[in-house]
Amino acid sequence: MQIEVVQGDITLQDTDAIANSANSTLSGGGGVDGAIHRASGPRLLAACQQVREARFPKGLPEGEAVLTPGFDLRAKYVIHAVGPQYAEKGRSALSRAFTSALRIADEKGLNSVALPAIGTGAYGWPKKVAAEVLREALGAFRPKSLQLVRVVLLTADDYLAFRSELEML
């Protein structure tokens, strides 16, 4: 499985799926979640609401992820993962959010997925810590179909922080 680290906007990626840093309500939000909903169009919110009502009436638990179509995006699917808010002891929940996103893409038989820096905006994770957690999650993941994971960072600083951690893989 090839790991790419790029600076850019995840909504523009041409991977089979892009992951979203959602929250338990699956009803959209700010940051990358807001950007994905704007780029995908209103059908995305309707699809999220349907998943919520049918499968997670109490909300999608932290560390889990679900798949919807990508609608107006270039990516065919969006994988909505819920990270934890920053806490010293929250690393395993952040790791599960990344791993759940990878697993859903892999189980769907996809070749490529783009991941954002889940948790590093509104949820307050230091970039270096999130990058370490992602490195460990990627290192432990055994894919069946996934050939490419593209990690997409919005800013140059974030790109450098994640690149220096992930080049150790």
Please list the active-site residues.
33
The residues facing 17 across adjacent strands are 77, 113
Considering only CA atoms, which of 111, 92, 107, 76 is closest in space to residue 1? Answer: 111
At residue 112, φ and ψ (nearest 5 deg) are -145, 145
Q: How far is the CB of 52 from ligand AR6 (least distance, A)?
A: 13
Q: What is the x/- site pattern for ligand AR6, positions 2-41, by CB under 6 A?
A: -------xxx---------xxx-----xxxxx-x------
Q: How far is the CB of 22 from ligand AR6 (least distance, A)?
A: 6
Residues 109-138 that bind ligand AR6 (CB under 6 A): 116-123
Kind and range of the H or E element at 46? helix 42-55
CA dist 39 and 37 (Å) reads 6
Residues 78-97 that bind ligand AR6 (CB under 6 A): 83
Residue ranges in contact with ligand AR6 by CB under 6 A: 9-11, 21-23, 29-33, 35, 83, 116-123, 152, 154, 158
